[in-house]
Amino acid sequence: MSKILIVEDEGITALNIKNLLENWGYENPLIVFSIRNIFQEVAEYKPDLILMDINLNEDIDGIEIAKQLQTDFDIPVIYLTAHSDEVLVERAKLTEHYGYIIKPFNDEELRITIDHAFYRHKMEMELKIANKLLQIELGKKESIQEELKKSEEKFRSIVEHSYDGIALIDENGLIIEWNHGMEKITGVKGEHILGKTMWNMPDVLYIEKNSHNQYTHFEKDIIGCGGSKNHKLSGKLFEGTIKNADGSKKVVQVRHFHIKANNKSIIVGIAHDVTEQKRMEEAFKHEVFEALECFVLGAEETLKPEGFGAQIEDLLVTFPAACENFQFSQSKIEACKKHSSLRDFQTSKAKTLLLKELKTAKTNLELKVKERTRELIKSNEELKKEIVERKNTEEALTKSRNFLDKIINSIADPVFVKDKRHRWILLNDAFCKLMGYPRKELLGKSDYDFLPAYEASIFWDKDEEVFKTGVENVNEEEVTDSVGYVHILITKKTSYVDNSGEKYLVAVSRDVTELKKAENAIKESESYYRTIFENTGTATFIVEEDTTISLVNAEFEKICGYSKEEIEGIKSWKEFVAPEYLRKMEEYHNFRRINMDMAPKKYEFKFVDRYGNIKNVLTTMDVISGTKKSLASLLDITDKKTAIDALRESEARLKIAMDMAKLVHWEYNVDLDLYTFDNEFYRLYGTTMAREGGSKMSSREYAQKFLPPEESYLVKEGIAKALETDDPNFSRKVEHSIIRADGEKRFILVRSEIIKDNEGRTVKIYGVNQDITELKLAEKEIEKNLKKVDTLNRVIITANSSDNLQSLLKDILSLVLEFMSFEAGGIYLIDFKKEIAKLEHFKEDSNDPADAVDSIKINEYPFNQVYMDGMPLFIDNFGAIPIEDLKPRIFKSLAVVPIYSKEKIIGSFNILSKNKHYFTQKEKDIIKSIGREIGSTISKLVTEEKMKKLIIELRRSNAELQQFAYITSHDLQEPLRTIASFTQLLERRYKNKLDSDADEFIDYIVEASIRMKQMILDLLEYSRLTRVEKRCEPLKIEDMLLDIFDNLNLLIRENKAQITYKNLPKVFADESQLFRVFQNLIENAIKFKKENENPQIHISSYFDEKNKEHVFSVSDNGIGIEEQYFNRIFTLFQRLHTREEYEGTGIGLSISKRIIENHGGKMWVESEYGKGTTFYFTIKDKS
């Protein structure tokens, strides 16, 4: 499987990608958090693909590193970047990347991009190899063509300049070559003979009749040579006389032989003009014959015939041909034979000279004939050699072309070559398949013959540009095939010029139709995520060169506390940086505008908002291309770091849990009906891979080997359900048992999911098996204890729901006896004065009841350990107890546990059994828990009983107190009025008649009486608040305040008080009582003002969603209250100032607080001495 390197400095993102890759089957993906040593990491790991964050928090340009990696290692790189890096994305698009992913991304988008990157890289590698092979083969072809051309030129030169005539005849008898020598010999120009058949030659060449029959035999020989495998026919000589165009006659000798060219039979005919040779031979013969004739005739006249016959015979032997062709008459020969005197003449000097001349002439003639024959043979051999060389060259060219065709046709991408007239001269199978036409229909044609005019016009212009400029170009083009389907192609077109200067266009195309669809889907996804980015999440802003912030988004407003209007074009980013970070960030700002790589793009600093709050943020900052502006985003990383720590801890716990859970995995191939298991799987089943013969096993074999017969159907059923479903997210969970190889039966939990192909067909099932044997055993144990736990719960419920002690004891005893299967039980409570535990309740489920023990001495063995030491007592043999009184005759087992109430032992809980019973630890724990619940409940019941009595007493006392307060205050008014009236009467009658002390004493009495009266009235009002029923109704606070302002109009104007309020709600309350609260608070705010400062009072409210109540506040700028007096001011008649300083009785705030509490609210104060006071109170929302 391919290896993938992940370069990402965000740990969570990197781990998420790694987990996804492992789930998709990629082998051990490697994570690198820094690119500083990236080249070493790549060299060692040797990845097949790199997923790279090009915006790492380092001072290194990620894009340049990615480009260098692709150059050095030829490894595809997919870019990862964040939403805020739009400028970076645009830079990345200019490079030859294999895809880019905008974070955050979805899993399917990542998977598609990785698959496309691998496919594209594979295709590019194949294309590079094919291009190299194509260039090599084109070079070979060019070399072979050049050699062939040279050979052809040499051959043609030889043929054209040969003295002999040379003609070529094809397998159909057509004359296809007629050289200059043949024109000279025959007098017939090539244009008059080429294209005619060899059977027309006798008529054209005017072959004489005596030669015509010989030529007919020659034709048969040629036909036999061309059609027969017996090449001995080659080289036969034809000699005949032809009549030249000028009327002259020539004697020619013609030899022929057979060659193969381009799998076609060719007859080569070579004609040699022997007219002069024949003439010389005839002339020589004539001279010889004349000499012989003279010799013979002369001898006939002068010599005697005796002995001459022998001489004639010598001449016939010496010149047999001449004598044979010379017409001697029989009479002359006979006459010569009669003249024997000629022998004397033969010995004469004349005869000797004559014979010598004849021999010399003969010898010279034979030498000339032999020399000319050698020349013809040599010329013929050279011609045959050139023809063989040409044949071999053509065969090599054919072989090279076939090899080149195989290479080109093996290329998966369409390949074609055009000549300068834009006609296809070479096509591979992929191109023909793309176009939907056979090769023979496309060759020699142009785009206009098959494509729509607008498409053909575009291709023509692009091709013409390459032909004219010679510059390679890469274009994206649309091509319509034979059925009208439009393909999107990326075509690389290159100009090629051969040695003769002929131009060709070589093109390789890549069908990217499906890739474009995927890219469009990715772009839609990118647009989707960009919309999310623009409307949510990250604080983003733009900084000018002078550090002014020119643009911010809504998130930045939130994080800094200022509005856009207060920031844009006004504030510098320096105002938001903590002092300790400012210098370094100023350096980054300046460096970034000199060279972007001199400053890091990601770093952390402390951000200071409008209110001085400091936040740890991660900033990503870069210069916008072509400007001096910076684009920055801020991310509060405090919570993120906490989340990362939590995630790491969670992953560690998950790993431990996986190891402890005994999980094994498997894979099922639907088409092959084969499971794939590993050693861990076989270990769970008590066997090994070697023992089972490998990792593969059919479903039937698995079911028969490892499942009990009654459960084996579950395997087939699981596969069937996986195949039937249309849900791609189908998953299944089932429990069953297995039989291990050693015969042990265990229980497993099987979880499975399916994988579908592009057609929606289920192709694989992945599953995990978990050994749950211990869990099953634990479940059975839990079932056993469920009744025990249920009993304990029922005891607890009974205890908490009981309000009667006897009923409680009875119910609990019944439950415990049922739970333990014991026959009797009792509850004892301690009488500390008598030092005994008295029986409070006893229950026995038996037909033979025993007498219950009424009391137990708490300080005697063995019960002292229960009542004195608090230790439970469990006995399974009463014989161990020496006290006879405590040994009922029929019981053999006993459990006694102490009952506590607030850490004090108050009694015991006892149960008995007639059978010998061994108490397990769980039973002991449950019985002790029941004892604790009984104690807690008894304590609660006793406390509740006391509380009920106390509440009744408090209610009675409170009612009496209220009645007393009312009666007292009401009855006190009469004597008080009497005292005040007579004192005032004394003041009127005797003022200034007594001494000054008497007048002063009278003033004191009057003043005290008036004050006492007011206090009694206030006390009456206070007591009325609890006696008089409230009359609550919907109330508009703002309308009520207007009435209060009218009441206090004089006080407000005299003190120049300013009272404001805002957005006060409607409430459900008693208007008169709430009126008094607001009036008291406003009067106090005016009364306790600062000297030389006008009162400023503000009334406001807000709604508390949690408690569903309105919270009101009345704040002032008065003298304030010290914190130590916050509670005192709400106490009846408590004052913080003298009456001379501030008048009043000190009951106003007490009344106000009582009113608010009667409405179900609360009142409190917040203040600082000298800085004003704010009173708060709440009113429940009744809406």
Whether residue 341 is predicted with pLDDT greater than 80 in this model: the reply is no
- Please give the backbone phi and psi of residue 1041, each rounded to the nearest 5 degrees, phi first: -65, -35
* The pLDDT value given to residue 376: 66
Average pLDDT over residues 159-187: 78
The percent of residues above 90 in pLDDT, for the chain, comes to: 15
Give the confidence band of 700 by pLDDT, cuts at 50, 70, 90: very high
Whether residue 1075 is predicted with pLDDT greater than 80 in this model: the reply is yes
Dihedral sign, Cα of residue 388, residue 389, residue 391, residue 392:
positive
In the structure encoding, which two tokens stand for residue 1080, read together?
A: 């008291």
Q: Are 98 and 69 in contact (CB under 8 A)?
A: no
In the structure encoding, which two tokens stand for residue 210, read together?
A: 């005596």
Q: Mind listing the pLDDT tens digit for each residue in 772-798?
A: 888 888 777 666 665 555 665 665 565
Are residue 1002 and residue 1049 in the same domain, yes or no?
Answer: no
Are residue 934 and residue 966 in the same domain, yes or no?
Answer: no
Q: Which DSSP string do the residues of 184-198 spell out, in sequence order?
A: HHH---HHHHTTSBG
Using CA atoms, how far apart are residues 286 and 283, in angstroms rounded to an integer? 5
Question: What count of Cα atoms within 13 Å lies in the side-chain half-sphere of residue 63?
Answer: 18
Q: Which DSSP string do the residues of 119-186 spell out, in sequence order?
A: HHHHHHHHHHHHHHHHHHHHHHHHHHHHHHHHHHHHHHHHHHH-SSEEEEEETTSBEEEE-HHHHHHH
Give the confidence band of 74 by pLDDT, cuts at 50, 70, 90: confident
Residue ending a domain, choose from 930, 950, 970:
950
Omega before 849 cis (within 30°)? no
Mean pLDDT rounded to a whole number for the chain: 77
Using CA atoms, how far apart are residues 952 and 151, in angstroms rounded to an integer? 135
Using CA atoms, how far apart are residues 1022 and 24, in angstroms rounded to an integer? 79
Q: Is residue 597 domain-resident? A: yes
Q: Is residue 249 domain-resident? A: yes
Q: Is residue 435 domain-resident? A: yes
Are residue 933 and residue 846 in the same domain, yes or no?
Answer: yes
| Closest to 86 measured CA to CA, from 522, 520, 533 | 533
Give the confidence band of 319 by pLDDT, cuts at 50, 70, 90: very low
Out of 702-711, 907-916, 953-962, 1014-1023, the most confident range is: 702-711
Q: Are 294 and 332 in contact (CB under 8 A)?
A: no
| Closest to 164 measured CA to CA, from 239, 252, 250, 238 | 252
Are residue 729 and residue 849 in the same domain, yes or no?
Answer: no
Give the confidence band of 322 by pLDDT, cuts at 50, 70, 90: very low
Neighbours of 341 (CB within 10 A): 15
Residue ending a domain, choose from 726, 747, 771:
771
Q: Compute the residue count for the chain.
A: 1183
* Domain harbouring 97, CATH code: 3.40.50.2300
- Please give the backbone phi and psi of residue 986, each rounded to the nearest 5 degrees, phi first: -55, -40
Q: Is residue 390 domain-resident? A: no
How far from 76 is each of 69, 400, 512, 865, CA to CA, in Å?
9, 34, 18, 82
Using CA atoms, how far apart are residues 1020 and 571, in angstroms rounded to an integer? 64
How far from 720 is each of 307, 717, 748, 751, 843, CA to CA, in Å?
129, 5, 20, 15, 61
Q: Are 144 and 397 in contact (CB under 8 A)?
A: yes
Using CA atoms, how far apart are residues 1062 and 505, in angstroms rounded to an integer? 84
Instruction: Give residues with Cβ within 8 angstroms of 322, minimum separation 6.
Output: 285, 288, 289, 292
Could you report how far apart the first and last alpha carbons of the chain are, in Å? 67
SS3 420: coil
In the structure encoding, which two tokens stand for residue 138, read together?
A: 């084109």
Residue ending a domain, choose from 321, 356, 374:
374
Are residue 796 and residue 934 in the same domain, yes or no?
Answer: yes
* Strand pairing report for 1173-1180 and 1163-1167: antiparallel
In the structure encoding, which two tokens stand for residue 878, read together?
A: 């009463």
| Closest to 706 measured CA to CA, from 757, 671, 741, 736 | 741
Are residue 255 and residue 285 in the same domain, yes or no?
Answer: no
* The pLDDT value given to residue 308: 43
Whether residue 669 is predicted with pLDDT greater than 90 in this model: the reply is yes
Single-letter amino acid, residue 1031:
R
Q: Is residue 123 domain-resident? A: no
* Domain harbouring 446, CATH code: 3.30.450.20
How far from 1098 is each of 378, 885, 1057, 1078, 1114, CA to CA, in Å?
132, 83, 11, 12, 6
Single-letter amino acid, residue 437:
Y
Largest interatomic CA distance in the chain? 238
Instruction: Give residues with Cβ within 8 angstroms of 784, minimum separation 6.
Output: none
Are residue 763 and residue 793 in the same domain, yes or no?
Answer: no
Are residue 946 and residue 963 in the same domain, yes or no?
Answer: no
Q: Are 3 and 18 in contact (CB under 8 A)?
A: no
Place of tokens 């006995």: 875
Q: Is residue 547 domain-resident? A: yes
- Please give the backbone phi and psi of residue 1125, each rounded to the nearest 5 degrees, phi first: -105, 10
Are residue 858 and residue 734 in the same domain, yes or no?
Answer: no
∠ CA 238-239-242 to the nearest 5 degrees?
120
Neighbours of 762 (CB within 10 A): 19
Instruction: Give residues with Cβ within 8 angstroms of 576, minimum separation 6.
Output: 560, 607, 608, 609
* Strand pairing report for 415-419 and 424-427: antiparallel
- Find the range with the poorest average confidence among 133-137, 426-430, 613-617: 133-137
> Could you tell me the residue range of the domain that residue 675 belongs to?
661-771
The pTM score is: 0.27
Whether residue 658 is predicted with pLDDT greater than 60 in this model: the reply is no
Whether residue 320 is predicted with pLDDT greater than 50 in this model: the reply is no
Are residue 931 and residue 977 in the same domain, yes or no?
Answer: no
- Find the range with the poorest average confidence among 96-105, 464-473, 599-608, 883-892: 883-892
Are residue 684 and residue 826 in the same domain, yes or no?
Answer: no
Q: Mind listing the pLDDT tens digit for each residue in 233-264?
A: 445 566 777 777 677 778 887 777 777 766 67
Q: Is residue 526 domain-resident? A: no
Q: Is residue 1023 domain-resident? A: no
- Find the range with the poorest average confidence among 63-67, 195-199, 1158-1162: 195-199
Are residue 634 and residue 597 in the same domain, yes or no?
Answer: yes
Single-letter amino acid, residue 212:
H
What's the structural domain count of the chain? 9
Give, for 68, the enclosing helix (H) or strand (E): helix 62-73
